[in-house]
Amino acid sequence: MIGLWSVPLLFALPLSLGILSLLVVPAWRPRLIFIGLPLLVAASLDVLAGLATIGPHVYRLGDWAAPLGINLVVDGLAVGMILMTTLVTSLCALYAWVYLRDHPTSTTFFWPLLWFLWAGMNGIWLAEEIFNLYVGLEVMGLAAVGMVALRATPQALAAAMRYLLAALLGSLAYLLGVALLYGAYGTLSMAGLQEVAANNATTQVALALIILGLLLKTALFPLHAWLPPAHGGALTPVSALLSALVIKASFYILLRFWLVLGPEITPEFTAQFLGVLGAGAVFYGGWMAWRQHHLKQLVAYSTVAQIGYLFLFFPLVTNTGPEAQRLAWDGTLMMLIAHALAKAALFLSAGNLILAVGSPQISHLVGISRFRPMSLFSFGLAGVSLMGLPPSGGFTAKWLLLHSAILSGQWWWLIVLFLGGLLSAAYIFKVFRMSFREGPQIDRSVTPPLTLDVTALILASAAILIGLTAHLPLHWLRLGSVFGVS
């Protein structure tokens, strides 16, 4: 059986390493990455190889078939997310390895949390089962909350508390939706639901609860209030992981639900409504990002804005033609991946800039372009992708979404993409403007260790490169979805 070992390794290995890192002395905790990263990279690649050889398939845990046992789904979408997670998390882990050296010992608890987070995310990407998704969400969510609290400053604790409350409320709404679906259809398997679910009041209410719960976890405007303090205030590698990956997990579950219950059950109104909320996020997040004085808060609000683009998916696939739907699918996934890479790079390079000038204030970046060009260069590359300028993943995504919007005749989304791009340019270049201003003539800034700059640069370059070779990942991502080529 293909992927026999690699599929369970994707969550079992991080779980084991998470526990092991509790057992070893603090100094040894970071070093476990040198066991974990190669193995997880290998497992991810093996899963990709499995997908390439036999196509989309399910992995039956305990060898029990679907409604009785829990199945894992290995299709293009899941494997794409796994690879994205492996790339981003590995680089963030390398970054953290160096970054946390100067932090108090208590931050070494970052490592067990990281492994649990990773296991939770991989669990979610692979899940085929709606209750299993709930447990996966909890593993990931609590690990993420723990990471936010790690700094243990009053601000961090308040942010973690706020995040935890939002996450708990979201999970409960989701769980109640699951309870209704199980009560009505007697199955938890997505494939099973796809067969039996009908368009009735119970499904509608259950879906509404699930959507609301997941929106809260994804921090879609106007449910975003918890995000900026949590993402902006955490340790830099934590911010990168949360913004790049964690919020994507709940969006991914929404996508899965959409694939299963489909546009037949999602009414036109809901789809347009989600799109409007997305537009609101783009405008409000962009505007707020532009107003920030604190570099990481700016980046965090940029996440609020970028989440909005993902939700244009729903109006663009509901009651539109197959071509427009395919483009919307491609565009949204490209946006998701490009944002993950670019946002991780942006947070890491912002962290480097903050290390260099010793202050999180944007106004203290005056003249830094002269002294720390590399950190700024990564910031710039990532910014290019976020602004949706070519050549970058963000641009390719925007291109596809524009294409889909025009094709489906929903021209109003063009305005969102247009103004959203300009707004993001405004806040990205706000940082650049400051860094180009002539300031002190003497280099007083700290030089961040090379590893920190290199990891940020790799992520930023990946955000650019993925735009140039987009047809390859997009081809894989379609496998096993309704847009897949058989």
Query: Cα–Cα distance between 316 and 321 in angstroms, integer?
Result: 9
Of 145 and 234, CB closest to another protein: 145
Which whole-number Å values give the CA distances from 144 to 110, 138, 212, 249, 288, in the listed order?
A: 10, 10, 20, 12, 24
- Contact residues for 308 (Cβ-Cβ < 8 A; gap 6+): 220, 221, 277, 278, 279, 280, 281, 282, 283, 285, 416, 420
Residue 125 near residue 477, CB atoms below 8 Å:
no
Q: How many residues bind another protein (CB under 8 A)?
A: 126
C-beta of 338: minimal distance to another protein in Å? Answer: 13
Question: What residues from 465 to 484 belong to the interface with another protein (CB under 8 A)?
Answer: 467-471, 474
Q: Does 293 bind another protein (CB under 8 A)?
A: no
Among 40, 139, 242, 477, binds another protein (CB under 8 A): 139
Stated as kind and residue range, the H or E segment containing 276 is: helix 268-291
Q: Does 180 bind another protein (CB under 8 A)?
A: yes
Question: What residues from 309 to 338 belong to the interface with another protein (CB under 8 A)?
Answer: 330
Of 209 and 254, CB closest to another protein: 209
Among 53, 106, 359, 363, binds another protein (CB under 8 A): 106
Question: What residues from 61 to 90 belong to the interface with another protein (CB under 8 A)?
Answer: 61-64, 67-70
C-beta of 462: minimal distance to another protein in Å? Answer: 16
Which whole-number Å values give the CA distances from 387 to 338, 361, 396, 453, in the listed order?
A: 11, 22, 11, 21
C-beta of 38: minimal distance to another protein in Å? Answer: 18
Identify the residue whose tokens are 């050296």: 101
Question: What residues from 375 to 414 belong to the interface with another protein (CB under 8 A)?
Answer: 377, 384, 387, 389-391, 395-396, 398-400, 402-403, 406-407, 414
C-beta of 275: minimal distance to another protein in Å? Answer: 18
Among 81, 88, 93, 178, binds another protein (CB under 8 A): 178
Q: Is the torsion defined by CA of 285, 401, 118, 99 positive or negative? A: negative
Question: What residues from 198 to 227 belong to the interface with another protein (CB under 8 A)?
Answer: 198, 200-202, 204-206, 208, 225
- Residue 67, both tokens: 């409604």
Torsion, CA 328, CA 76, CA 178, CA 271, rounded to 10: 0
Q: Does 454 bind another protein (CB under 8 A)?
A: no
- 327-350 burial: b if 16+ Cβ within 10 Å, else e: bbbbbbbbbbbbbbbbbbbbbbbb
C-beta of 204: minimal distance to another protein in Å? Answer: 8
Instruction: Return phi, psi of residue 454, to 5°.
Output: -65, -45
Q: Helix H segments across 358-411?
A: 368-371, 373-387, 393-407
Site string for another protein, 422-441 (x = CB under 8 A): x--x---x--xx--xxxx-x
Among 41, 45, 168, 446, binds another protein (CB under 8 A): 168
Of 17 and 247, CB closest to another protein: 17
Q: Does 20 bind another protein (CB under 8 A)?
A: yes
Among 132, 239, 325, 349, binds another protein (CB under 8 A): 132
Q: Letter for the amino acid at 165?
A: L
Pick the stretch among 83-91, 253-261, 292-300, 365-373 that binds another protein (CB under 8 A): 365-373
Q: Does 358 bind another protein (CB under 8 A)?
A: no
Which whole-number Å values give the CA distances from 369 to 214, 311, 412, in the listed order?
A: 40, 35, 38
